[in-house]
Amino acid sequence: MANIFTRKNSREITTSPTKIGSYSVGASTIATVIGLSVANKTTSTVTANVYLSDNTNASTGNTYIAYNTTIVAGGTLIVAGGDQKLVLIPGDSIVVQSTGNVDANMNVLEIS
């Protein structure tokens, strides 16, 4: 089994749901999100949604990790890191949307 660290970023996220770094877990791969942050680049408070999208099972749909979470001007929401990790299986991706301009950074350990 190969272990690969990777980083995925998306900039200028607003109201359109955005898959971080266009990343989806590949076939025969398990991924652990070891860090995930969303930074508010505006001078106003914004709200953000972060959710797990399971593209392989339409009946599962989206599962929110953070829902309508407030991020103060210039602040950062830490969704995963430290003791909090997220396990993703093939077809999964993490999606962000916000009421203002945010950047998202995700660090992943892939095991295939």
Backbone φ and ψ for 41, nearest 5 degrees, come out as -95, 5
What is the enclosing helix (H) or strand (E) of 10?
A: strand 3-13
76-80 and 18-19: which strand pairing? unpaired
Beta bridge partners of 51: 64, 95
CATH number of the domain within which 23 lies: 2.60.120
For residue range 63-76, list pLDDT tens digits in order. Answer: 999 999 999 999 99
For residue range 76-102, list pLDDT tens digits in order. Answer: 999 999 999 999 999 999 999 999 999
Name the pTM for this structure.
Answer: 0.92
What's the number of domains the chain is made of? 1
Domain that holds residue 36: 3-111
